[in-house]
């Protein structure tokens, strides 16, 4: 059972069905935004998402939203508190600028997954495209497949854990985010270096596996850690070509 | 006998300085040679470019009659965001305060901007680094900038804002990102931006999760969804290709387009960028207006113009050329007290003088405005500075009304290109108004 499914099962009592073939994303979001504190037991099942954009964007309530199919751009954008599960692929910028909560994509995710997200957890069962975790500011991202080029560009804080491979220029101009990759890294971006994987990092990885619902199945020691060399933190002319 | 007569000295020419290698250029070559780093500074383009000074109003005459200066009404209000937003912004004057970040400006400076603007019934704008209590608390109408860095970006602040401005670029540096040097990354600034304290911080030049107009349209849709379609969404571009950028912003669903010319200020950018990239404000307005007109969206999507607006005449000229409102940044800082001669000795100690000080990124502003130094910050009284800004905005508004009445207009928005002539061929071509004393509009029948 996936972590998302487990959370969905925990959310009982009130279930709402919403069919995007019959109503608009605007109606769905308006209904979700109107939820008052105390409605935390509700489960929303969204049918026929058909790649529509901004599904479940801007939520700020501890509800669970299950999207039964592929979502378009910015699904669960700026999420707070909510659990959003996409039973399909997710388009550009899934969970962009998330503040808190849990977003689970059961398929692949397009570019800029988790871009600039400040908090919460984003789990992607498949692959993620280019710029995964770009400018991330505190989110924990777990990708069970591989990630594309320029991922974690200017990543400021949080963790990006990748079970597969990473494309070109991983962690270019990275600040203090921590990157863990189990497979190969095609190339590292400017100022991104491999760092020692210590016990504290294994512990952190173990915690990320738990978030992704696969604790105990993978050895954290199989991962390599990457982070900032901090050479670009202060402008120096000899580094000019790297800026 | 001749050997006793001294030959007259041959006349010498005066020392001749090169127009090409002028004193500033020579000093820059020496500075570059000594440091190996390009020059970074604040403010906008300082070179002379065709500007509003090159335009004149014709005023009323036999065929057009004026309004009485002190008796007949001349409206100045403007509504922004009438296209899609459920809650458009209503401003009493068509002069707004441009986006300037907390980080580049001190907390008291942001508060003063809010106080001054609110007193006059107009809006202020956040900047890179997020929204502070100083500006939200003291700004009756606050526009929240949505920038590539997304520093401090969060949905709660978006919902607290009265409008959202998606920043694609700014006039001082179209295509450039931001820079905030370590001296200004105080503990508070660092926390707001999720960055280590004291580092030299670079902001991205491109949004992380969209590229191009098709993506922008979806991004704007997301922002509308998050805010339940209530808030006007502006798109701000640096003046470079204003015809196409305006058209694409409209296509992407903007309620308001902001076009910022090269004289518009920056907190910190390379001098070479400020002076050599982008086009003057005057050259941008008519292109932006034409894009709106060609799409049948003029006045339906509002246009805000910024970059070198200094007085009510500039406001009136921008509106006459088709803008709905203007934004001021540098002028607002001067109204607060920036570059005031009363700090002359301190400016000299910094190697500059009042009126020329532009090393805003260094955080040592004697006026306490472009700094995060707690001691310098104390020099700015936000109440007094806010009053100064309100006074200045009031004067600009009265000036614009004076001109509008002289042209027979009962609202400043009724000013039109027909009220204007140009003093130079360049400005006539850029503004698409006749050269004074002629009926000649260079390029009138040609394409842009």
Assess if residue A124 is contained within a domain.
no
**Does any CB of chain A come closer than 8 Å to the CB of residue B199?**
yes
Shortest distance between the Cα of B236 and any Cα of chain A, in A, equals 21
Q: Is the pLDDT of residue B71 over 50?
A: yes
**Does any CB of chain A come closer than 8 Å to the CB of residue B197?**
no
Side-chain-side CA neighbours of residue B146 (13 Å): 29
Are the C-beta atoms of B54 and B427 separated by less than 8 Å? Answer: yes
Tell me the DSSP string of B265-311.
--SSEEHHHHHHSS--HHHHHHHHHHHHHHTT-BTTBEEEEESS--S
Q: Is the pLDDT of residue B435 over 70?
A: yes
Top pLDDT among A149 and B196 is at: A149
Top pLDDT among B380 and A36 is at: B380
Assess if residue B67 is contained within a domain.
yes
Q: Give tens-digit pLDDT for B270-292.
A: 999 999 999 999 999 999 999 99
The C-alpha atoms of residue A189 and residue A171 are separated, in whole angstroms, by: 5
**Does any CB of chain A come closer than 8 Å to the CB of residue B212?**
no
Rounded mean pLDDT of chain A? 92
Band of pLDDT at residue A190, cut at 50, 70 and 90: very high
Q: Is the pLDDT of residue A209 over 50?
A: yes
Assess if residue B330 is contained within a domain.
yes
Assess if residue B181 is contained within a domain.
yes
Sign, CA dihedral A16-A18-A23-A25, equals positive
The C-alpha atoms of residue A161 and residue A172 are separated, in whole angstroms, by: 16
The C-alpha atoms of residue B175 and residue B196 are separated, in whole angstroms, by: 26
Assess if residue B91 is contained within a domain.
yes
**Does any CB of chain A come closer than 8 Å to the CB of residue B196?**
yes
Are the C-beta atoms of B389 and B332 separated by less than 8 Å? Answer: yes
Helix/strand/coil percentages in chain A, nearest 5: 15, 25, 60
**Chain B residues with CB-CB distance to A157 below 8 A:** 194
Q: Give tens-digit pLDDT for B10-31.
A: 999 999 999 999 999 999 999 9
- Measured at the CA of B332, the angle between CA B111 and CA B426, to 5 degrees, comes to 155
Its pTM stands at: 0.94
Radius of gyration of chain A (CA): 18
| Average pLDDT for B230-250 | 98
**Measured torsion, CA atoms of residues B207, B209, B211, B215, in degrees rounded to the nearest 10:** -130
Residues A52 and A136 in one domain: no
| Whole-number pLDDT of residue A11 | 46
User: DSSP label at B129?
Assistant: T
Top pLDDT among B169 and B447 is at: B169
Top pLDDT among B339 and B203 is at: B339
The C-alpha atoms of residue B260 and residue B242 are separated, in whole angstroms, by: 9
Residue B48's Cβ-count burial label (10 Å; 0-12, 13-18, 19+) is: exposed
The residues pairing with B85 across neighbouring beta strands, listed in sequence order, are none
| Whole-number pLDDT of residue B134 | 83
Assess if residue A118 is contained within a domain.
no
Assess if residue B7 is contained within a domain.
no
Expressed as residue numbers, the domain containing B146 is: 40-431
| Whole-number pLDDT of residue B198 | 83
Residues A160 and A241 in one domain: yes
Q: How far apart are the first and last CA of chain B?
A: 76
Assess if residue B31 is contained within a domain.
no
**Chain A residues with CB-CB distance to B181 below 8 A:** 235
| Whole-number pLDDT of residue B130 | 85
| Average pLDDT for B37-65 | 94
Q: Is the pLDDT of residue A160 over 70?
A: yes
Expressed as residue numbers, the domain containing A17 is: 1-101
Residues A213 and A142 in one domain: yes
Q: Give which of A72, A27, A58, A28 is closest to A46, Cα–Cα.
A: A28
| Average pLDDT for B56-64 | 94
Number of domains chain A is built from: 2
Q: Give tens-digit pLDDT for B360-377.
A: 988 899 999 999 999 999
Assess if residue B360 is contained within a domain.
yes
Shortest distance between the Cα of B250 and any Cα of chain A, in A, equals 19
Assess if residue A174 is contained within a domain.
yes
The C-alpha atoms of residue A44 and residue B18 are separated, in whole angstroms, by: 74
Q: Is the pLDDT of residue B179 over 80?
A: no
Assess if residue A231 is contained within a domain.
yes
Number of domains chain B is built from: 1
Assess if residue B25 is contained within a domain.
no
Query: Which residue has tokens 């001054």?
Result: B116
Interface test with B, best of A58, A101, A152 (most B CBs within 10 A): A58
Q: Residues with Cβ < 8 Å from B266, sequence gap 6 or more?
A: B42, B43, B44, B170, B172, B173, B178, B274
State the CATH number of the domain containing residue B76: 3.20.20.70
């Amino acid at each position: 059972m996936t972590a998302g499914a487990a959370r969905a099962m925990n959310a009982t009592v009130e279930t709402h069905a919403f069919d995007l073939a019959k109503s608009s994303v605007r109606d769905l979001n308006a209904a979700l935004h109107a939820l008052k504190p105390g409605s935390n037991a509700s489960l929303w099942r969204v049918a026929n998402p058909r790649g529509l954009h901004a599904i479940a964007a801007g939520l700020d309530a501890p509800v669970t939203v299950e999207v039964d199919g592929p979502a378009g751009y910015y699904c669960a954008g700026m999420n707070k508190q909510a659990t959003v599960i996409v039973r399909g692929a997710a388009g550009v910028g899934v969970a962009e600028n998330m503040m808190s909560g849990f977003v689970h994509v059961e398929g692949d995710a397009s570019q800029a997954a988790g871009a600039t997200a400040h908090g919460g957890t984003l789990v992607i069962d498949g692959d993620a495209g280019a710029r995964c975790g770009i400018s991330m500011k505190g989110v924990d991202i777990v990708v069970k497949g591989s990630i594309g080029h320029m991922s974690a560009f200017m990543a400021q804080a949080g963790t990006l854990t990748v079970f597969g491979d990473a494309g070109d220029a991983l962690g270019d101009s990275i600040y203090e985010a921590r990157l863990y990759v189990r497979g190969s890294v095609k190339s590292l971006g400017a100022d991104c270096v491999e760092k020692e994987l210590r016990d504290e990092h294994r512990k952190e990885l173990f915690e990320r596996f738990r978030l992704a619902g696969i604790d105990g199945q993978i050895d954290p020691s199989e991962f390599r850690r990457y982070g900032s060399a901090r050479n670009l933190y202060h402008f120096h002319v000899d580094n000019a070509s790297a800026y | 006998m001749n050997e006793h007569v001294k030959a007259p000295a041959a006349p010498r020419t005066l020392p001749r300085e090169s127009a090409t290698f002028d004193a500033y250029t020579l000093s820059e070559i020496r500075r570059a040679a000594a440091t190996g780093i390009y020059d970074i500074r604040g403010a906008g383009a300082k070179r002379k470019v065709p500007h509003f000074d090159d335009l004149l109003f014709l005023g009323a005459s036999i065929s057009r009659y004026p309004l009485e200066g002190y008796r007949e009404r001349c409206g100045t209000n403007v509504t922004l965001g009438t296209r899609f937003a459920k809650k458009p912004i209503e401003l009493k004057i068509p002069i707004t305060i441009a986006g300037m970040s907390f980080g580049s400006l001190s907390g008291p400076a942001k508060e003063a901007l809010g106080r001054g603007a609110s007193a006059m019934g107009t809006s202020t704008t956040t900047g890179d680094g997020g929204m502070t209590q100083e500006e939200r608390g003291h700004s009756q109408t606050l526009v929240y900038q949505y920038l590539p860095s997304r520093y401090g970006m969060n949905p709660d602040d978006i919902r607290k804002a009265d409008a959202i401005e998606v920043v694609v670029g700014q006039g001082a540096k179209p295509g450039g990102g931001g820079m905030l040097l370590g001296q200004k990354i105080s503990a508070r600034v660092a926390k707001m931006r999720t960055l280590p304290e004291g580092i030299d911080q670079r902001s991205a030049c491109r949004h992380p999760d969209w590229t191009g107009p098709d993506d922008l349209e979806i991004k704007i849709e997301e922002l509308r969804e998050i805010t339940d379609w209530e808030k006007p969404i502006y798109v701000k571009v640096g003046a470079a290709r204003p015809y196409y950028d305006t058209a694409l912003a409209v296509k992407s669903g903007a309620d308001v387009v902001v076009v910022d010319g090269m004289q518009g200020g920056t907190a910190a950018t390379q001098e070479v960028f400020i002076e050599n990239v982008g086009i003057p404000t005057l050259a941008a307005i008519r292109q932006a207006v034409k894009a709106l007109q060609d799409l049948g969206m003029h006045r339906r999507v509002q246009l805000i113009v910024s970059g070198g607006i200094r007085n009510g005449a500039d406001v009136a000229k921008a509106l006459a050329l088709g803008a709905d409102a203007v934004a001021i940044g540098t002028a607002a800082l001067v109204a607060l007290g920036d570059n005031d001669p009363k700090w002359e000795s301190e400016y000299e100690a910094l190697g500059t003088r009042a009126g020329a000080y532009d090393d805003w990124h260094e955080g040592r502003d004697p006026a306490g405005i472009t700094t995060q130094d707690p001691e310098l910050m104390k020099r700015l009284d936000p109440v007094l500075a806010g009053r100064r800004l309100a006074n200045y905005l009031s004067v600009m508004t009265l000036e614009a009304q004076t001109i509008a009445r002289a042209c027979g207009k009962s609202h400043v928005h009724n000013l039109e290109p027909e009220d204007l002539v140009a003093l130079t061929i360049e400005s006539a071509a850029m503004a698409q108004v006749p050269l004074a004393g002629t009926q000649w509009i260079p390029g009138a029948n040609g394409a842009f």
